[in-house]
Copies of this chain bind each other. A is one copy, B any other.
Amino acid sequence: MPTSAPPRNRFERRRAETRQALIRAARQILAETGDTSASIQAIAERADVGFGSFYNHFDSKTALFDAAVTDALEEFGQVIDEHVEGIDDPAELVAAGFRLTARMADSHPELMRILRDRGLAHIHSDRGLSPRALRDLERGIASGRFTGTDPTTALSALGGTLLSLVALRLARPDLDGGEAASDLAAMVLRMLGLSSEDAREVTRRPLPGLD
């Protein structure tokens, strides 16, 4: 997930692969234990990368884990983005985001654990899904679809509720995830000023699949 230009030659490709292998290992560790005290040796071994290579890419463990969280949040944003393309109604976008997130608890469990453990501090980040969500909220408020709130407050409430859905899915896999997602999405839409009937209707619209 390089912010810079894509690697052109084999050197750069291999370098990018090593870096990504380290990030992947860090993401696994974050999801499994949430504990960042694993040794660099253990991380390199898990990434199947020579120990010394670590220092070619990161100055410290903290730098690696920060990059791993960013990487995970970016991926989350991209997966959601891809699947809501073509949806215009801001309310429907919110509902789709909730329902897709619930499904990702099954399809991307590692990512969801990181989101649960680290997402809250990034709700107002200028990376990942947040800026796009903020834009959609602003659009909804401007058009009158959403009422009685300002964008910042709405983003907080929306983000917090979305993360609580993630936590609920992970803590209670026995519950029906789709139903929980629709219920929480409907509550958020009510919170954003929609009537109960409108909110309910929006959360029942058909949704494109998630691999």
Contacts and interface: CB of A to CB of B under 8 A. Distances in A.
Contact of A164 (B160, B167, B184): B160
Nearest to A186: B148
Interface string A34-67: 0111000000000000000000000001100000
A123 B37 CA distance: 25
A157 interface: yes
Contacts of A61: 37
B190 A148 contact: yes
A59 to B, nearest CB: 15
Identical copies of this chain, number: 2
A70 interface: no
Interface residues on A, range: 35 or more
Given A124-B168, A156-B168, 9 more contacts: A119-B120, A120-B164, A123-B164, A148-B190, A153-B184, A154-B187, A156-B180, A157-B184, A160-B163
